[in-house]
Amino acid sequence: MKKLTFITMFVVIACVSVFGGISVFAASSSPKAAPVLRWTADPVKEGLNAFEGVEDDPSHSEPGVTHIFVVGNTYRFNMDTRQREAPGDRQRNEVKGMRTPQGQIITIGLGETWRFTYSMFIPPTLKGTTSFTHIFQIKRPGLGSLPMVTLDLRRSGTQELIALHAFTSGVDVASTNLVPLRGHWIDTSIEVTAGTKGKGRLHWTLIDGGKTIVDAERGGLSIWLGDRLRPKWGIYRSVKDTADLMNTYLLLRNMQAYQIV
């Protein structure tokens, strides 16, 4: 009798779903957040206009030299050992922020979740260092502000690592061996939830030739400063670790940003 009653109730609900336009499944589960494509950097169509700004040797230590430019369907960031940024202990060639073809500037708001996906080519000459080498950052716009998130190339003893670091929380999401990832294209996804007082979250995936090398998530983070955040890509490194500094470059392509709504 109980089994018959359950079947009857299911039929009634299903009929309401069909004839009344109410989904039986919607009643039992809430809709999941979905990624919505908000931004694509197209090197061919938009070039460097896809970004809010370009920081190509911002201290003009090498006048007349262009370090950031388009090659085919990729963005190339050159860095040589002579370049310096004030106060003289670092180097920076980065692009910052996101700009649509219509000229709209897109930023990350408090409580928002964004996923940044792209492919990168790290050559053997771009090495992990004992000081800092960042190839991706999440920062508040403006001079002098600390990064919230960094993708780092590090050296620990004889081992070189690539690590996603929650800078203001002082913890890594994950790290892995850098050496086998260099010299060919790899794919990455960095998902960030902007939040204060432990409400921030990071999820990092790293894929090499279709094989997932990293798939790690960490919550309870503080990822917020000021009134908005934005991503940065390129090379920003200290010059203190002279043994591992070489003339080098970084290639990026397939750059997209999704908002999880």
CATH number at residue 150: 2.60.120.200
Q: What is the mean pLDDT of residues 233-261?
A: 97
Note whether 18 and 46 are same-domain residues: no
Note whether 43 and 17 are same-domain residues: no
Distance linking the first and last C-alpha atoms of the chain? 44
Share of the chain above pLDDT 70, in %: 88
Note whether 2 and 17 are same-domain residues: yes
Q: pTM of the full predicted structure?
A: 0.87
Lookup: tokens for 182? 């260099």
CA-to-CA distance for 29 and 243, rounded, in angstroms? 56
Residues whose CB is less than 8 angstroms from the CB of residue 34 and which lie 6 or more positions away in sequence, other chains included: 260, 261
Note whether 9 and 74 are same-domain residues: no
Q: What is the pLDDT of residues 181-231, one digit of tens each?
A: 999 999 999 999 999 989 999 999 999 999 999 999 999 999 999 999 999
CA-to-CA distance for 237 and 226, rounded, in angstroms? 24
Lookup: tokens for 196? 């204060």
**Mean pLDDT lowest for which of 28-42, 144-158, 210-224, 229-243?**
28-42
Confidence of residue 146 (pLDDT cuts 50, 70, 90): confident
Domain range for 108 is 32-260
Note whether 6 and 41 are same-domain residues: no
Gyration radius (Cα) of the chain, Å: 22
Note whether 125 and 191 are same-domain residues: yes
Q: What is the mean pLDDT of residues 61-72?
A: 97
Note whether 80 and 180 are same-domain residues: yes
**Cβ proximity of 249 and 126 under 8 Å:** yes
Q: Is the pLDDT of residue 3 over 50?
A: no
Q: What is the mean pLDDT of residues 126-132?
A: 97
Note whether 124 and 178 are same-domain residues: yes
Note whether 21 and 97 are same-domain residues: no
Number of domains in the chain: 2
Note whether 175 and 74 are same-domain residues: yes
**Cβ proximity of 193 and 223 under 8 Å:** yes
CA-to-CA distance for 50 and 63, rounded, in angstroms? 24
Note whether 133 and 25 are same-domain residues: no
Note whether 197 and 112 are same-domain residues: yes
Q: Is the pLDDT of residue 118 over 80?
A: yes
Share of the chain above pLDDT 90, in %: 83
Q: What is the mean pLDDT of residues 142-148?
A: 82
Please give the DSSP secondary-structure letter assigned to residue 86. T
Residues whose CB is less than 8 angstroms from the CB of residue 109 and which lie 6 or more positions away in sequence, other chains included: 194, 228
**What's the pLDDT score for residue 7?**
38
Lookup: tokens for 13? 């609900």
